[in-house]
Structure 1
Amino acid sequence: MPFIEPKPIAEYPWYLRLFFRNQVRRYGQVLSPSWLWGRLPGHFLGLLILLGLFQRRAFPIDTALRSALSVRVAQINGCAFCVDLNAYNLLKAAGAADKAAAVEKWRTSPLFSECERAALAYAETMTDTAKRVTASEIDALRPHFDDDGITALTAWIAFQNFSAKFNAALGAEDAGLCRLPPSRSAADG
């Protein structure tokens, strides 16, 4: 349940109402974080521009890996909305629901490559505020990513932590896009 309800639609700027209409066409509804971010229209536009830059073809981290990382970050942060949306994106990118359902068990699942495992381990370290990234974790990424790729990976994980923490704190609800089995607690992960 969201802690802050949407304002009446007429109170959002016209350009956000157009964005909301596009979300309804794409997802069948306005996604709950959009109502929340819409209360800060300039910030929301900046967030959307940054998201668009991350989603460009030239970005060195592909959609499937970005989505898997996002699901794991969301699971750790307790953001049901982010798990839902990013599992949906992973399902679309990878073409199979089993990978989206297995993200929490990436260490033991045969569905993940060594590259994905290194990136997921890095994402978990970045997301756990009690841990710090070490040189050995960066070294584990080097067989799979160049320095620009590691920087891009770091930026994406940081962006997802920002987003998941915002959404979880304000109770953004999932949209029912991709139902996964219930997640274990972050402490179990």
Structure 2
Amino acid sequence: MQDGKTRIPPVDVETCPDDLRETLEEQRKLWGAPLYPYLFYARHPPYLRAAKKMWAALQEEAARGLDTLRALVNRRVAWSNGCEYCQDAHAAKASRLGVSTDKIDALNDYARSPLFSEAERVALEYADAITETRCDVDDELFARLQRHYDDDTIAELTMIIAWQNASSRFNHAFRIPSQGFWTR
């Protein structure tokens, strides 16, 4: 991570409790470096532990087959919140799931792009409505969402969007940079 780009320095891994050092070491082995946000979450160890559990629940343990939609929604929310790190990470995830570069690039114009299904469009519009705090999720939008997704899937999608909003706003506030995961 480049010094001076973030608003505060990341935590020194050596000062972390053992369990968090192990988590950061696992990330280093998998990704080549600890994931940048975790170096800031680690400033408050209980938060990092909770974030790790929430991330696992929303990203790894979800059972509704939302992997591709999750990556697209997360990328869209990250873009709306100006989070460079999350945009990169979720574009990489979408790409690994087989989403084309053209479709990832078209997220900013999803409403008019022929690359998105009606179900994807309504989910992305829902994400926009939740993310834009001056907006409301009106009954008409929610009814369109219900035409494509059952109640449990809507609940999961809502939590995915809410968590991504929290994560990307946290990262953006500290100006946590991209880690270069997505290569076109």
TM over 0.5: yes
Unmatched 5+ stretches in structure 2: none
| Structure 2 partner of 1:128 | 132
Residue 116 in structure 1 maps to residue 120 in structure 2:
yes
Residue 62 in structure 1 maps to residue 66 in structure 2:
yes
Using the size of structure 1 for normalisation, the TM-score is 0.89
Match of 1:81 among 64, 81, 85: 85
8 A Cα contact 1:69 1:157, kept in partner = yes
Q: List structure 1 runs of 4+ shifted beyond 4 angstroms.
A: none
Deviation at residue 99 of structure 1 after TM alignment: 2.1
Distance 1:58-1:81 versus aligned 2 partners, 3 A rule = closer
Using the size of structure 2 for normalisation, the TM-score is 0.92
Deviation at residue 95 of structure 1 after TM alignment: 4.5
Mapped partners of 2:156, 2:18: distance in 1: 33
The 5 A counterparts of 1:11-22 are: 11-22=15-26
| Structure 2 partner of 1:185 | none
The 5 A counterparts of 1:4-153 are: 4-60=8-64, 62-153=66-157
Mapped partners of 1:6, 1:76: distance in 2: 24
In angstroms, what is the RMSD of aligned CA positions?
Answer: 1.5
Between the two proteins, the alignment pairs up a number of residues equal to 180
Mapped partners of 1:102, 1:32: distance in 2: 26
| Structure 2 partner of 1:156 | 160
**2:97 partner SS:** helix
Letter in 2 for 1:97: T
Unmatched 5+ stretches in structure 1: 181-189
After superposition, the C-alpha distances for 1:9-52 in whole angstroms (9 at most, x for unaligned) are: 21011111111122122222222111100111111111111111
**Is 163-172 or 9-18 further displaced after alignment?**
9-18
